[in-house]
């Protein structure tokens, strides 16, 4: 099969590789759509921390935001999975340690992360092998575009849960990229008054078209009491700013990651009785995201600006926007699209 392989920072190609075979407890999925995110870009540039900590190494196959159709099952897997539209968890725990046994496999010290950690091949390929235990079936109401937005949506939904928003609460989201906009959408669906702060005029302009209560840059942000501040940016200065902006007894959620350490004065947290929450993965939020997409409570399909084939993946990872791309921040890849389509 064809797969997109990163061989070194900035170096990649579409290669012919062995197609996966479903072993015990596994299925093979024909991949229909894959989202590209900031983590993939960091691997492509060589900046991703996992490369420097030994959790990942080149060559590697990226892709952890995906959906597809089950085409084969292992010898012990229910054949009823064949033909089902699915997405799946990125975090694959060992299943035996204390964290896994208490349901926290997404922080298992021995986990694989699909397309990210431990050499587990990702979805930027025509097919993907996955443990059946990590699958989430997609209802008909969740189309292919939404299916590939479940994983980032899970991170966003967990961030909103971490903010403990009630109807009428005022929330500020820092960073109007894909995760920030998804956070804002879920928060709005929860009945919150939602504001966003960013710096790119293009991203701010797009966010203003989505009907939020306020979209600001750092200079124009009004002096309002924010019950929760959710940092979905990659700016090392914003975690500290989030703590400054939140109301006493409010909540700060950190879902964005900077490329360098962020400094937060814990005195500002303690003396204002602020609750700080960290969000690592989508895992506990995947089912809830599928439910909200299926009901129509949240519909982020407009975030996807363009869809290209595997041959266009390198350009997307290098920051290129395809001709005719829409205004949204998200790029998708469909491995079924050939270079000649």
Encode pLDDT of 165-176 as tens digits.
999 999 999 999
The token pair that represents 336 in the structure block:
């079924």
pLDDT beyond 70 at 327? yes
As a whole number, the mean pLDDT across the chain is 96
For the chain, give the percent of residues with pLDDT over 90.
Answer: 96
Any residues with CB less than 8 A from the CB of 65 and at least 6 apart, and which?
34, 35, 36, 37, 123, 148, 149, 150, 151, 152
Name the CATH topology of 2-149+300-333. Answer: Quinone Oxidoreductase; Chain A, domain 1 (3.90.180)
Delimit the domains of the chain by residue range: 2-149+300-333, 156-278
Query: What mean pLDDT comes out for the span 214-241?
Result: 97
pLDDT beyond 70 at 228? yes
Any residues with CB less than 8 A from the CB of 147 and at least 6 apart, and which?
32, 33, 67, 85, 87, 138
Partners of 277 in the β-ladder: 253
Structure-token match 């030994």, residue found:
54
pLDDT beyond 90 at 107? yes
Question: 156-278 has which CATH code?
Answer: 3.40.50.720
Encode pLDDT of 282-326 as tens digits.
999 999 999 999 999 999 999 999 999 999 999 999 999 999 999
Q: At what angle do helices 286-295 and 150-163 cross, to 10 degrees?
A: 100
Encode pLDDT of 36-69 as tens digits.
999 999 999 999 999 999 999 999 999 999 999 9
**What Cα–Cα distance (Å) separates residue 61 from each residue in 127, 149, 338?**
12, 19, 18
Query: What mean pLDDT comes out for the span 185-191?
Result: 97
H-helix or E-strand containing 45?
helix 38-45
261-277 burial string, b = 16+ CB within 10 Å, else e?
Answer: ebebeeeeeeeeebebb
- pTM for this prediction: 0.96
Q: Which of 156, 196, 175 is nearest to 284 (CA)?
A: 156
**pLDDT confidence bin for 341, thresholds 50/70/90:** low
Q: What pLDDT is attached to residue 23?
A: 96
Q: What pLDDT is attached to residue 65?
A: 98
Q: What pLDDT is attached to residue 259?
A: 81
pLDDT beyond 70 at 340? no
Q: What pLDDT is attached to residue 338?
A: 84
For the chain, give the percent of residues with pLDDT over 70.
Answer: 99
CB atoms within 10 A of CB 238: 22
Query: What mean pLDDT comes out for the span 23-42?
Result: 97
Do the domains 2-149+300-333 and 156-278 sit in the same CATH topology, yes or no? no
37 alpha carbon, distance to own chain's centre: 7
Encode pLDDT of 232-287 as tens digits.
999 999 999 999 999 999 999 999 988 889 999 999 999 999 999 999 999 999 99
């Amino acid at each position: 099969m064809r797969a997109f392989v990163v061989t070194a920072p900035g170096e990649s190609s579409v290669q012919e590789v062995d197609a996966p075979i479903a072993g015990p407890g596994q299925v093979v999925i024909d991949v229909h759509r894959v989202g590209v995110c900031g983590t993939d870009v960091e691997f492509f540039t060589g900046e991703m921390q996992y490369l420097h900590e030994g959790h990942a190494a080149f060559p590697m196959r990226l892709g952890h935001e995906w959906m597809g159709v089950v085409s084969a099952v292992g010898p012990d897997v229910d054949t009823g999975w064949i033909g089902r539209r699915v997405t799946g968890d990125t975090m694959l725990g060992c299943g035996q340690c204390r964290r896994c046994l208490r349901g926290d496999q997404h922080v298992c010290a021995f986990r694989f992360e699909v397309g990210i950690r431990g050499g587990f091949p990702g979805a930027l390929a025509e097919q993907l092998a996955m443990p059946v235990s990590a699958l989430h079936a997609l209802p008909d109401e969740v189309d292919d575009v939404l299916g590939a937005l479940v994983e980032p949506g899970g991170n966003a939904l967990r961030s909103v849960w971490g903010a403990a928003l009630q109807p009428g609460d005022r929330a500020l989201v820092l960073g109007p990229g894909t995760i920030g906009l998804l956070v804002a959408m879920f928060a709005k669906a929860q009945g919150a008054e939602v504001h966003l702060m960013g710096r790119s005029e293009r991203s701010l302009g797009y966010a203003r078209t989505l009907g939020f209560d306020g979209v600001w840059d750092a200079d124009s942000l009004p002096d309002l009491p924010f019950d929760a501040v959710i940092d979905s940016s990659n700016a090392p200065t914003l975690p500290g700013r989030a703590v400054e902006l939140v109301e006493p007894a409010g909540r700060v959620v950190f879902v964005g990651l900077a490329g360098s350490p962020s400094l937060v004065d814990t005195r500002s947290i303690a003396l204002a009785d602020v609750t700080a929450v960290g969000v690592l993965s989508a895992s506990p939020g995947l089912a809830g995201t599928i439910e909200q997409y299926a009901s129509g409570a949240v519909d982020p399909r407009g975030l996807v600006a363009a869809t290209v084939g595997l041959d266009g993946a390198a350009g997307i990872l290098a920051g290129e926007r395809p001709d005719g791309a829409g205004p949204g921040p998200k790029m998708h890849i469909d491995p079924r699209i050939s270079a000649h389509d």
